[in-house]
Structure 1
């Protein structure tokens, strides 16, 4: 009687395992069917881009220096990040990030800090200045090279501009060539009870 009970127990265990395996197989088949029949776009570009126009216009009205932003870059150059901090340990800092057509990174960085060496080291991942400089539109840019990023750096009174990234120097130069340094007018507010010069009476 004991033997019969043991055999019955083993059969029960085998059936349980078989049921689990069968259930798992059914689940996997169902999941595969859902994936096949639900529309999905494998060709969709996973890179998230941003529109920088509004931020550029706003920051140019508030930053204490002429803000750098590219104009006329090919459409294949995609903006992926933009930020501005009016106050930080390294001054008022402006950032734009782009991906080149070869999916290499190029960043535009600016600050009015007096700690120029620290700032350049931070945004270039500790790249070091190397011999020689390049001239673009009559302006001198110092070359930097590092294990992760290369960079072109221009120091001017009140602002340091850095073009840096994983892209080759020809792409960094292309970005430098496209940069426009502009400073917009701060918004003016008419005193209470007076009309703004640009306002027109309602007809």
Structure 2
């Protein structure tokens, strides 16, 4: 008698995996690498914008003030006339340039002094004093300027005019010396500089 033999078993077939939904497929594609690749162009654009703004800001150099004292002293020492300069100007008038030809002048030679100011409104006001009516600092402004009357400033009478550049100019002449104030600043600021002109006392 034979005993029961081993029961033959057929391997069970695994159930087919259902297809993933579109949402799952999209989630699988959103790996870290894909996210980096997607963000890279945006990051690059942001960096370019920041670099461009930084470049533009660095290209605009701030105006630096100077001390015109040594230049004024040299002009006063060489000039054959009593030098005058703007004195005790209100806060906000910052000297930014000063030059004179006195360094090359000999006894009796003409001497010109120029000082440039940044005004409170961040405009330019230029001061010139010279006993040379032909110097460019004078002729370049008054040549072709249209006179428009006079104005009294701190007891001094100044001629008012408009230059060929359309800027206001204030000037006065005495004993062959021309004193001139002009620039892109508004009239009130130019008048403030002119009213502050006094003899230099060292």
Normalised to the residue count of structure 1, the TM-score between the two structures is 0.61
Partner of 1:128: 146
SS in 1 for 2:194: helix
Confirm or deny that 1:182 pairs with 2:193.
no
**Equivalent residues in 2 for 1:11-160, closer than 5 Å:** 46-86=62-102, 91-115=110-134, 120-123=138-141, 126-130=144-148, 132-146=149-163, 147-160=165-178
SS in 1 for 2:138: helix
Aligned pair count? 153
Instruction: List structure 1 runs of 4+ shifted beyond 4 angstroms.
Output: none
Segments of structure 1 that go 5 or more residues without pairing to the other structure are: 1-24, 36-40, 185-203
Q: Distance in 1 between matches of 2:93 and 2:153?
A: 20
Change over 3 Å in CA distance of 1:121–1:62 after alignment to 2:
closer
Q: In the TM superposition, what is the alpha-carbon distance from 1:70 to its structure 2 partner? A: 1.8
Q: Distance in 2 between matches of 1:85 and 1:98?
A: 19
C-alpha RMSD of the superposition: 3.6
Q: Distance in 2 between matches of 1:124 and 1:105?
A: 17
Q: In the TM superposition, what is the alpha-carbon distance from 1:161 to its structure 2 partner? A: 0.4
Q: Distance in 1 between matches of 2:95 and 2:143?
A: 20
Normalised to the residue count of structure 2, the TM-score between the two structures is 0.61
Q: In the TM superposition, what is the alpha-carbon distance from 1:45 to its structure 2 partner? A: 7.0
Deviations along 1:67-87, one digit per CA (max 9) or x if unpaired, are: 222222123111110000136
Structure showing greater Rg: 2
Q: In the TM superposition, what is the alpha-carbon distance from 1:128 to its structure 2 partner? A: 2.2
SS in 1 for 2:195: helix
SS in 1 for 2:159: strand
Q: Distance in 2 between matches of 1:61 and 1:149?
A: 32
